[in-house]
């Protein structure tokens, strides 16, 4: 007789964790990482030449970076040791956006800067 997995997950995949079991800091950090990754893609940073990336969309990148800045600003007190690296990632994306822009925003008016303050 053959034993079959009782869940919908394939046998070689780890079991899915219930959302209620995941600590808030992990949910926040994963959300921030997803926003960072999506923003990097929209900035074209995954390509050797970001200027030629077919995925580059600065309007979409602006929205993602602003959402990330709001999340980070609102939850920084809960991130503990993760706060520094998450803030550094946000700042890197804000600077990359400024560099990618044909007409960069004035300091304090770039994506997410209403939450983080000017980024230099």
Indicate the pLDDT class of residue 19, thresholds 50, 70 and 90: confident
Tokens for 40?
């990097």
Distant-in-sequence, close-in-space partners of 38: CB < 8 Å, separation ≥ 6: 64
Residue 5's pLDDT is 53
Tokens for 21?
């079991």
* Chain center to CA of 47: 17
- What span, in angstroms and rounded, lies between the C-alpha atoms of 94 and 112? 8
pLDDT digits (tens, 9 = 90+) for 56-82: 999 999 999 999 999 999 999 999 999
Question: Count of H helices and E strands in the chain?
Answer: 4, 0
- What span, in angstroms and rounded, lies between the C-alpha atoms of 112 and 78? 19
Q: Do residues 43 and 93 lie in contact, with contact meaning Cβ atoms separated by under 8 Å?
A: yes
Put simply, whether the predicted model's pTM sits higher than 0.85 gets the answer: no
């Amino acid at each position: 007789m053959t034993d079959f997995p009782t869940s919908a997950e394939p046998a070689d995949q780890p079991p899915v964790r219930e959302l209620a079991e995941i600590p808030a800091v992990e949910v926040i950090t994963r959300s921030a990482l997803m926003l960072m990754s999506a923003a990097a893609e929209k900035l074209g940073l995954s390509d050797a030449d970001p200027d030629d990336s077919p995925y580059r969309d600065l309007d979409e990148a602006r929205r993602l970076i602003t959402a990330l800045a709001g999340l980070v600003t609102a939850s920084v007190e809960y991130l503990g040791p993760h706060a520094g690296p998450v803030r550094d990632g946000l700042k890197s994306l804000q600077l990359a956006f400024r560099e990618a822009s044909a007409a960069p925003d004035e300091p304090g008016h770039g994506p997410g800067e209403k939450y983080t303050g000017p980024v230099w």
